Structure 1
Amino acid sequence: MKRPASMAFAFCVLFLQGCAGWQSALDPKGPAAGELAWLIWFFTALCAVVWALVMIALAAPLVMRSRSGDEPLLLDEAAERGKMRVVVSAVGVTTIILIGLTLLSFFANRTLAAIGSEAALTIRVTGHQWWWEVRYEDATPSRILTTANEIHIPAGEPVRLLLTSTDVIHSFWIPSLAGKLDLIPGHMNVLDIKADKPGVYRGQCAEFCGAQHANMGTFIIAEPRPKFDAWLNDQLQPAGAPASGEAKVGADLFLKRPCVMCHRIGGTPAGGTVAPDLTHIASRQTLAAGTLTMSRGNLAAWIADPQGIKPGSHMPVVELSGDELNAVIAYLEGLK
C-alpha cells in the first residue's frame, strides 16, 4: 500500500506545480490577477460542492432499499410530496447560486475597471505576426518611445495598456497580472494592470494567430519608479556610436543591407517600421519575442538563420560572410 500512496503523493505534488510560477493565473502578483484568482478558486470550490451533492442525490436511491411488501404501482403521497419539496428546493438553490455567481462576476468587473482609473502611464501594444510592438505614449512628442516585446512599468502603480493589431486577432495575457484581452485589427481594447512589487512577469499570446503563435511571448518588467524613470530616459536616447572598428564596419553593413527597410535604429538613417525597433536591442533579455535569450551566439544564430529558429517569421535571410556577421553582431551588441 505504501507504493501506490507514494505515487499518488508524487503525482499531486507535480500537479500542483502548475498553480505557481511566473506564468500562472493561480499565482497572482497584482490586484487584477488576485481578483481573478479568487473567482477561480471560489467557482471551483462551489462547483465541487454542487457536483458532490448531485452525486449523492443520484446514488441515494440506488443504495436505499424499498420496504418489503410495497406494491410497485402504489404511490405514497407523503413520499411524493417529500420528493417534490426536494426538487423545488434544488431549483431554488440553483437559482440562488446562479444569481450569486453573476453578482460576484459583476463586482469583480467593477474592481478590475477601477484599477486603471488613476493610471499615469499609457502604453500602446500592437500585435504582429509574431512579436509585440510597445509604444509609450506622451504628450511631448520627443518623449514617445517605441520598443518591442518587453514592457517596463513602475511597480505599485496602475498602467493602462491600449491593445490593437495590424494583421490577425492576437490575445494579450500576463497571467500573474491580469486576464486575457484580444487585440483586434482596427479596434482598440483597454487593459489596466498593476504589479504589486518589482519582478519579471512572463506573458503569451493566447489566441492562435499562425504558425509561430507559441513563440509570441512577452515580458512585463516591473521596477521601482526611480529605476523605471532611468530606464525610460536611457531608452529615449539615440543609438550610441560604434565603439570599435569592427562595430563601425557592422554599422555600415547594416545600413547598406535590406535591414534598414524593416528596422529602425534611432540616430541613424535606418527608419523601418514593419519590424522591431533595434535602437537598444542589446538591453533586452530575449530575442524574437521570447524565443531566445539575449546572447552573442543567439544573436548570430537569429540573423544567420531566422527561418530555422522561427519558421514562418517575416524576417528574411540576409547573406553575410562570417566576418560580416561578426561585424554586424559587434555593432548590435553595442546598442544598449
Structure 2
Amino acid sequence: MTKRAIANVGFSAGGVALLAGCSGPQSVFEARGAEAQEIMPLFWTVTWIAVAVTVLVVAFMAIALLAPERWRRRLTSEKVVVGFGIFLPVFVLSGLLTYGLLVMQAGSARSRSAEGPGITIVGEQWWWRVVYDGPDGKQIVSANELRLPVGHQIAIRLESDNVIHSFWAPQLAGKLDMIPGRTNTLTIEATEPGISRAQCAEYCGGAHAFMSMYVVAMEPDAYRQWLEAEADPATEPVDAVRRRGQQLFMEHGCGGCHAVRGTPAAGTIGPDLTHVGSRHSLAAARLPNDPQSFRRWLTENQHIKPDNFMPEYDVFSNSELDSIVAYLDGLE
C-alpha cells in the first residue's frame, strides 16, 4: 500500500470517528427537549459565524503574505483596521450576547411555570443521588438514573454536598452547575420518549470522567406507574440463593453504606439499591446492568472506576458471589 493510500485510509478513519461522536445518547445534535431545541439554533448561529470569521482571517493572512504591494497597503489602512478590527467584532459579539440572553430568559420563563412532582439531583463523589417528591409528599430515593414524563416541564433542583459538579443532559437542556450550599434549578421538558445520557461537566476529582447517568423520558401514564412502583420497598428474595445473598449483604456491612428499603440496610454513603436491578446501568453508567457486571463491580471496581470510595471484595467464594449477585440483580 502506498503512502498516499495509507494517508487516505487514516483520514477516512478519522472522519468516521468524528461522525460517530455526533450521534448516540449523548449527542448535542439530537434535541429531545424544549430547551435543547432552543439552544440548537444558537449553536448553529455561533458555529457559522465562527466559520465566517475564520475564513475572513485566513483571507486577510493570505493577502498580507501573498498579495501584491498595493493590496497589502490597503489592508493596513485606517478604515480596514477600524472597520474589521473594532466595529465588526463589537457588532457580532453584541448580537450574539443579545441572542444568548433571549434564549436564557426563555429557560427562566419555563422554570416559573414548571410542574410537579419535583426532583432533586445531588452530585456525590462520583455518582448521582436522585430524589423524587412522591404523590403523597414522601421522598423516593434512587440513584444514577433520571426518569421524566414526556410533555411536562419538570423543575429539577441541583445540589452538592462536597465539591462543584455540573449536570448536563445535552439532548434535553443546557448544563448547570451544582454548588455546595446552594440550590440551582434546571427546568427540563422532554418532547419525546427515549433514553439519553447526562454527564458531569465540571471536573470534580478522581472518577469525574465516569460520572454519568441515563435519562429516561416516558409517557406520562407509564411514568406514574413507574413512580408508584419505585416508592415500594424492595422485593423479598424468593429462593434460597437470593436469601443467602441478602444474608451475606447484611453480614458484610453493605447496609452501612447502601440503603435497601424494607430491610435493615439504611446507609446513605453510597447509592440506594432498593430497585437497582431495574436500572439501565451500574456504577453511574459505567457498566451495563446484568449479573456479570454486578460480579465485576464487587471484585474489581477500582479497576473499572478508579478512585471510587467502595472497596473491592475479594473475600467471597464463587458460590457466595453468585448468591449476592442473584440478590442484587433481583432487586427490581
Shift of 1:6: 8.4
Corresponding position of 2:290: 295
Query: Contact 1:32 / 1:115 at 8 angstroms: preserved in 2?
Result: no
Corresponding position of 2:306: 311
Residue 35 of structure 1, aligned match among 33, 38, 42? 38
Cα distance change of structure 1 residues 296 and 10 upon mapping to structure 2, 3 Å threshold? closer
Query: Contact 1:263 / 1:271 at 8 angstroms: preserved in 2?
Result: yes
Corresponding position of 2:217: 222
Distance in 2 (CA, whole Å) between partners of 1:324 and 1:9 is: 49
Distance in 1 (CA, whole Å) between partners of 2:21 and 2:293 is: 29
Alignment of 1:1-336 (within 5 A): 11-60=14-63, 62-66=66-70, 83-90=77-84, 91-121=86-116, 122-138=118-134, 140-142=136-138, 144-318=139-313, 319-336=315-332
Moved segments of 4+, more than 4 Å = 2-14
Query: Contact 2:119 / 2:133 at 8 angstroms: preserved in 1?
Result: yes
Cα distance change of structure 1 residues 270 and 11 upon mapping to structure 2, 3 Å threshold? closer
Shift of 1:226: 0.8
Equivalent position amino acid for 1:136 in 2: Y
Shift of 1:232: 0.6
Shift of 1:138: 4.2
Equivalent position amino acid for 2:23 in 1: A
Which shows bigger deviation, 225-234 or 107-116?
107-116
Distance in 1 (CA, whole Å) between partners of 2:305 and 2:221 is: 36
Cα distance change of structure 1 residues 327 and 26 upon mapping to structure 2, 3 Å threshold? same
Cα distance change of structure 1 residues 189 and 85 upon mapping to structure 2, 3 Å threshold? same
Distance in 2 (CA, whole Å) between partners of 1:290 and 1:301 is: 14
Distance in 1 (CA, whole Å) between partners of 2:231 and 2:183 is: 25
Query: Contact 1:264 / 1:279 at 8 angstroms: preserved in 2?
Result: yes
Give the SS at the match of 1:305: helix
Shift of 1:9: 6.5
String of CA shifts for 1:251-287, please: whole Å, max 9, x gaps. 2222222111111111111111111111111101111
Shift of 1:85: 3.5
Equivalent position amino acid for 1:161 in 2: I
Q: Which runs of 5+ in 1 are unaligned?
A: 68-75
Q: Kindly name which structure, 1 or 2, has the bigger radius of gyration based on alpha carbons.
A: 1
Distance in 2 (CA, whole Å) between partners of 1:309 and 1:10 is: 28
Give the SS at the match of 1:163: strand
- Pairs aligned (count): 323
Equivalent position amino acid for 1:64 in 2: P
Give the SS at the match of 1:204: strand
Shift of 1:141: 3.7
Distance in 2 (CA, whole Å) between partners of 1:250 and 1:10 is: 47
RMSD in angstroms over aligned alpha carbons? Answer: 2.6
Q: Which runs of 5+ in 2 are unaligned?
A: none
Give the SS at the match of 2:21: helix
